C-alpha cells in the first residue's frame, strides 16, 4: 500500500543552520540547550536527531542560527514535538512551531525570521543542487 503524502510545503536539507534545543520552564534553567543535528526545515516546523528523549506534545524552545551571505538568528522559538521515531543514530523528532504559545511567538518579527531562514536555505539548496524549482505534493 502506497502512503499518501500530505506535505504541501518543501523541506530544505542543506545549509549551515545551527539548532539548539532545550525544554521550557524551570527545568530549562538546570540544563543548557543542546545542539542537535537537524534534518529538514520549513516555515511550519523542523526535524532533527537527538540522543535526548522528549514526549509527544512536549513544548521545546529552539535557538536557530544560520550564516551564509546573511546572518539570521531566531531565539526562544516555541515548538511542539509532533512525532518521534527511534533511529540507529538516536531519536528523530518532527516539531511544529507553536505560533500561538505566547505573545513573542505571535509577533511578525518571529515569523519573518523563520521565513527568512527558510528562504536562505532554499537559496542554498538551489545553489548546491543546480535546480531552479522543486516539486511539492
Q: 37: which strand partners?
A: 49
Q: What is the pLDDT of residue 30?
A: 79
**What is the reported pTM?**
0.82
Cell numbers given for 98: 507553536
All domains in the chain, ordered by first residue: 17-127 (2.40.10.220)
Segment-wise mean pLDDT, segments of 10 residues, the chain, 137 residues: 46 72 81 91 95 95 86 95 96 97 95 93 81 59
Q: What is the pLDDT of residue 54?
A: 95
Amino acid at each position: 500500500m502506497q502512503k499518501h503524502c500530505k506535505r504541501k510545503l518543501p523541506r530544505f536539507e542543506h545549509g549551515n543552520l545551527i539548532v539548539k534545543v532545550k525544554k521550557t520552564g524551570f527545568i530549562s534553567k538546570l540544563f543548557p540547550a543542546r545542539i542537535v543535528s537537524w534534518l529538514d526545515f520549513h516555515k511550519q516546523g523542523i526535524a532533527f536527531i537527538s540522543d535526548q528523549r522528549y514526549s509527544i506534545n512536549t513544548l521545546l524552545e529552539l535557538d536557530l542560527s544560520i550564516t551564509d551571505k546573511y546572518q539570521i538568528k531566531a531565539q526562544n522559538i516555541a515548538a511542539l514535538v509532533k512525532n518521534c521515531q527511534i533511529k540507529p543514530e538516536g531519536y528523530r523528532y518532527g516539531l511544529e512551531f507553536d505560533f500561538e504559545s505566547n505573545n513573542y511567538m505571535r509577533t511578525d518579527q518571529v515569523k519573518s525570521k523563520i521565513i527568512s531562514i527558510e528562504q536562505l536555505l532554499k537559496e542554498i539548496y538551489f545553489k548546491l543542487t543546480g535546480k531552479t524549482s522543486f516539486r511539492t505534493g
